[in-house]
Structure 1
Amino acid sequence: MLTRDEYLAAWSQWHGGTDPGANRLVHGWLSAAYALARPLAALPPIAATGFGLAVAASAVPTAVAGGRWLVLAGVLVGLSGLLDSLDGALAITTGRASRRGFVLDSAVDRLTEVAYAAALWVAGAPGWLAAAFGALCWLPDYLRARAGQAGVAETGAISVWERPTRVILAGFAVGGAGLVPDAAVAATGGAAAGCLLGVVGVAQLGVQLRRALAD
């Protein structure tokens, strides 16, 4: 099994040379996934992928129940994000990473982000704002994928709107909605904060990709 530093280096290679050490949140998130993967090395990565998607999907009906159930829904959002990172850590550290798995993991990421947006909506955020949150979760990875097809080898530096930020913000917004008198205020505030970070993150990425595509 790879050491943590070897895992982070391999993760960087799979993600277009992105340096995870450039962002403390991303570095800490990946380190936590690595620590969780060590005792679970025998678990097939696809199992973690499927379980993560199921957990994310379960957050929506849990949020529908409202009240204190929203706290559990927020926990499920966070857990699904950790499971998503676990599958990648398992695949890379045990030498089972593949292009097929990489694409599948990316597709599942997008599906879980649909669940996050839906959970925000049922928690009380306006539909259009929840939809915008979901779209801004998708857009950075779509831009990176298209840039890769255009021949850009590097995916750019880490922005303020990477996967860990999306998961944590959605989890706290949904969970926090169950702790305040007006759930809609917390859900709307969380979705709005996510949209703001999403716009900033896309702008950061856009500047980087514009330079890379101009070469």
Structure 2
Amino acid sequence: MTDGPAEDAQWSALHGGVQPSPMVRGWLRMIWALARGPVLRVPPDVLSALGLLTLVGAWAAVEGPGWPALAAVLVIAAGVLDGLDGAVAMRTRRARPLGAVVDAVADRLGDLALGATLAALGAPLPWVLASLALLFVMEYLRARAQSVGMPGVGAVTVAERPTRLILVAAAALGTAASPTGLPLIGWDWASATAVAWTVVGIVGMVQLVIGVRRTIPARFPPDR
């Protein structure tokens, strides 16, 4: 399989025809470069499970010994594993509906681990719960729209999984570098990140609602 336009086309097909941004293209190049050699022998479901376990490890690194820098590294590693499972599935032609279900469940459990990591870093629980609630409602809306005929994902919003991973990794790195918090506003890194995640979630919800209204079929297909 040729790297470059080929993986861009596959990503676009999986996301309802949306063309990847330059940042997404760069991410795809890195993931496809890593999806080679021994990595191709690892089943995609195992990669999904490893990504989830890595996020649980990030939470444990903060909750236990209090190592936010290690948590940041683990969150970034989980993001790479999250990309590799799909790349390996496509490159080895092992993509299947059950694998998509496993990946989705691992992603949602991983999101809970991200929220737990943010709380362990010191974010107020109400803000963490608000961000998670928005996330789960958004993903439920997307899944229900797809079940009644919406092609693709409806819209690639600002609140997708890479954004969540980046936010929590930044909170962990910020906490490790400056435990006293953000000097200009007086907030700790985790609290500021939880607020940012909630705001991004609201914007993402609006984007998805617009995308669903634009792309969902107007009526069910006639019975055959």
TM more than 0.5: yes
- Find out whether 1:90 has 2:83 as its counterpart: no
Instruction: Please tell me whether the aligned partners of residues 2 and 93 of structure 1 are also in contact (alpha carbons under 8 angstroms).
Output: no
Letter in structure 2 aligned against 1:87: D
Given the alignment, which residue of 21, 30, 33 partners 2:31? 33
Identify the residue that residue 81 of structure 1 maps to in structure 2. 79
Instruction: Please tell me whether the aligned partners of residues 15 and 156 of structure 2 are also in contact (alpha carbons under 8 angstroms).
Output: no
CA offsets per residue over residues 6-47 of structure 1, 9 Å max, x none? Answer: 23322333343343x2x3333332322111112322222122
Identify the residue that residue 103 of structure 2 maps to in structure 1. 105
Identify the residue that residue 117 of structure 2 maps to in structure 1. 119
CA offsets per residue over residues 123-171 of structure 1, 9 Å max, x none? Answer: 0000111122222333332221110112212322322112211111111
Q: 1:140 to 1:2 in 2, by over 3 A?
A: farther
Q: d(CA) in 2 for partners of 1:154 and 1:76?
A: 30
SS in 2 for 1:41: helix
Identify the residue that residue 72 of structure 1 maps to in structure 2. 70
SS in 2 for 1:178: helix
Unaligned segments of structure 2, at least 5 residues: 182-186, 219-224
Identify the residue that residue 63 of structure 1 maps to in structure 2. 62
SS in 2 for 1:155: coil
Q: d(CA) in 1 for partners of 2:137 and 2:62?
A: 25
Sequence identity (%): 39
- Find out whether 1:199 has 2:202 as its counterpart: yes
Point out the structure with the larger helix share: 1
Q: 1:94 to 1:2 in 2, by over 3 A?
A: farther
Q: 1:45 to 1:213 in 2, by over 3 A?
A: closer
Q: Please state how far the C-alpha of 1:192 moved relative to its aligned partner.
A: 0.9
Alignment root-mean-square deviation, CA: 2.0
Instruction: Please tell me whether the aligned partners of residues 55 and 80 of structure 1 are also in contact (alpha carbons under 8 angstroms).
Output: yes
Q: 1:108 to 1:165 in 2, by over 3 A?
A: same
Q: d(CA) in 1 for partners of 2:147 and 2:18?
A: 17
Identify the residue that residue 5 of structure 1 maps to in structure 2. 5
Instruction: Please tell me whether the aligned partners of residues 149 and 217 of structure 2 are also in contact (alpha carbons under 8 angstroms).
Output: no
Q: Please state how far the C-alpha of 1:214 moved relative to its aligned partner.
A: 6.9
Q: d(CA) in 2 for partners of 1:2 and 1:49?
A: 24
Q: Please state how far the C-alpha of 1:74 moved relative to its aligned partner.
A: 1.5
- Find out whether 1:54 has 2:57 as its counterpart: no
Q: d(CA) in 1 for partners of 2:127 and 2:22?
A: 28
Q: d(CA) in 1 for partners of 2:51 and 2:124?
A: 26
Given the alignment, which residue of 206, 209, 214 partners 2:212? 209
TM-score where L is the length of structure 2? 0.86
Aligned residues: 212
TM-score where L is the length of structure 1? 0.89
